[in-house]
């Protein structure tokens, strides 16, 4: 099997892929304006502060908008050795490739929102704070799992987990005069840093379950 035939591909570094995935997720969120049946989405999601600032200076620009700004990312290499991700192994019968997890990658994000009104900002805040909880049924022993798992198309189709840490309103006299309704959200994201390596063969494994106990053979 040739590497070009391996289905899992990387087109971005992990930090950029995580930022793009978060931007895409925020861009598809819908929010309702109070006292109306109108649903809106972000008109644009920017990757740099300069682009976001330019939209703020353009009074005729489309709103609302959001800027997704990653901070310094850190690699945690606390594991003793790389771990093969067996579900990513692909082979043509003579050998193949698989992804190996070599570290955890953590990066904080700041998402800055600019709305066209106070009511719109409140509607966006309401949606965002509920958008980072995994869907499902609540369990008797605790709440739903906090954090949102999102697939990163640009990074081997791996998943990243995003959690919302804080929110605050960016109000000032100047912003009020200019009708700039801004808010800021801090998030934390985690994902596995992986690499592709050639694997000669992987032996088949049979699992036997007896009385709920799993035995590998």
For 184-216, the pLDDT digits (tens) are: 999 999 999 999 999 876 555 544 455 556 545
How high is the pLDDT of residue 104?
A: 94
Q: What is the reported pLDDT for 155?
A: 98
> What is the domain extent for residue 77?
3-216
Nearest partner of 181 among 136, 124, 143, 107, judged by Cα: 124
Find the helix or strand (DSSP H, E) in which 216 lies.
Answer: strand 213-216
CATH number at residue 57: 3.30.2000.30
Q: Cβ(167)–Cβ(184) under 8 Å?
A: yes
Q: Domain total for the chain? A: 1
207-211: which pairs have CB atoms within 8 A and are 24 or more residues apart? none
pLDDT greater than 80 at residue 45: yes
pLDDT at residue number 206: 45
Q: What is the pTM assigned to this prediction?
A: 0.82
């Amino acid at each position: 099997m040739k590497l070009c035939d391996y289905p899992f591909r990387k087109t971005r570094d992990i930090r950029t892929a995580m930022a793009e995935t978060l931007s895409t997720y925020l861009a598809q969120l819908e929010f309702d304006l109070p006292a109306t049946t109108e649903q809106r989405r972000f008109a644009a999601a920017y990757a740099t502060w300069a682009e976001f600032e330019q939209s703020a200076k353009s009074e005729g620009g489309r709103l609302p908008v959001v800027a997704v700004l990653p901070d310094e990312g850190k690699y945690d290499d606390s594991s003793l050795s790389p771990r093969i991700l067996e579900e990513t192994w692909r082979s043509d019968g003579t050998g193949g490739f698989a992804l190996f997890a070599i570290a955890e990658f953590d990066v904080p994000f700041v998402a800055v929102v600019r709305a066209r009104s106070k009511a719109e900002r409140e509607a966006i805040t309401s949606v965002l704070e509920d958008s980072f909880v995994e869907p499902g049924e609540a369990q008797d022993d605790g709440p739903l799992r906090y954090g949102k798992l999102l697939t990163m198309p640009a990074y081997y189709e791996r998943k990243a987990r995003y959690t919302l840490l804080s929110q605050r309103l960016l109000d000032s006299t100047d912003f009020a005069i200019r009708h700039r309704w801004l808010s800021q959200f801090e998030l934390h994201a985690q994902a596995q840093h992986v690499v592709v390596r050639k694997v000669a063969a992987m032996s088949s494994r049979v699992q036997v379950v007896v009385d709920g106990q799993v035995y590998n053979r």
